[in-house]
Each structure stands twice: as structure tokens, then as C-alpha cells.
Amino acid sequence: MRLAAEVDALAAQLRDSRARIMDLEARVDVDPLTDVLNRRGFERELRRSLAYVKRYGTSAALVYIDLDGFKPVNDRHGHGAGDVVLKAIAAALVRNVRASDVVARLGGDEFAVLLWNVNGTNAAAKAGALEAAVYGTPVRWSSSTLVVGASAGVVLLGALDTPADVIARADAAMYARKNERKGVASLPLRREKEQVTQ
């Protein structure tokens, strides 16, 4: 009887340990601050997406997002404020994509979104909508309202692409978009600089 009780106790411990291991394995791919995928999880999903595009001829796009005006948030209000802004931006991105799409924080103030079953026109429109969603996510911090913008570069995934190819193209597209927005001196870029300094 005592042996049976010990076996039951060990079986319960084993179940608990397995559940904990599964939870830890899942968390390895999640950014602990924003609760979206981290770079490791994103790269896994990107490889999976490229394999799917190659095998089935489906369409997918990568939107590479860099926040505009984020550094002044950290510089003027501290990293606590920056963390709150990053959490709010991640949540806004998740709210503005489909459940089948993938949102990740690649590090610092860079995010990526994998979009499924989109053409170039729809992907570009979604990138613009995500820029607007970021700008439309003000964060209250003490007596300030913190507003940042975003520059989003978008590329379609091709059957012959490697993950490095897609990321490099998307990164280049994001910098082109950032330069375009600076060159136009768009209202959102001016307004975010004004609001962050409050």
C-alpha cells in the first residue's frame, strides 16, 4: 500500500514536471516583456512560412516595423516608460492582425508581422494600417502622453527566398520607408516629437 502511494506521488510529480517543461519550452520563443514571439520564435515561424509558400504556392508577406521617436521616450522618461510603450505597441499590433498572422518583437524597438494569404497591394495597405495603429496608441506616463510613430517596410515571401533574404529585403524596405517619411516631414513624425517632450 505504501509502495502504491509512492508510485502515485511519483507519477503526479512526473506529470507536473512534464507540464512545467512544456510551459518552459513554449516560453523560450516568447518575448517576456511584450508577450509576443521573440526573434527565435519569429525565425522559426518565418522558416515554416517559407516552406509552406514553396510547397503550396500560397502568398505571405513580412512587415518589418521600426518605431520612430522611441529613443526620446527612454532618454526623457526612463526605461520603465519605454517598456510600457513597447507593451502597448505589441498589443496594438496583435489587435490589428488576424489570428493566423504572427507578431514578434525582434529586439529593441523593432517588430515583425507575418501576414498570410495577401497580395502586394493588401500587404502594403496593412503595413500602412499598422503604422497608423502604432501612432494611434498613446500611452499615459505620469503627466505626459507618449506617442511614437512607426516605419513599416513590407515584402512578399518568394518560393526561393531564405529567411536571411526576406529579413534583409524587409529591413531595407523599412529604412526606405523611414527615409521617405523623414523626407516628406510628415505630420505624424512632427507630432510624435512634440508629444514625447511633454
How far is residue 123's CA from residue 63's CA, in Å, rounded to a whole number? Answer: 8
Q: For residue 66, what are the β-bridge partners?
A: 110, 151
List of residues 6+ apart from 147 with CB closer than 8 A: 69, 135, 137, 138, 139, 191, 192, 195, 196
Q: Report yes or no: 151 and 68 within 8 Å, Cβ to Cβ.
A: yes
Q: Could you list the active site residues?
A: 109
How far is residue 185's CA from residue 68's CA, in Å, rounded to a whole number? Answer: 12
Q: Report yes or no: 141 and 81 within 8 Å, Cβ to Cβ.
A: yes
How far is residue 133's CA from residue 129's CA, in Å, rounded to a whole number? Answer: 6
Nearest-5° angle of CA 131, CA 114, CA 19?
120
How far is residue 198's CA from residue 26's CA, in Å, rounded to a whole number? Answer: 40
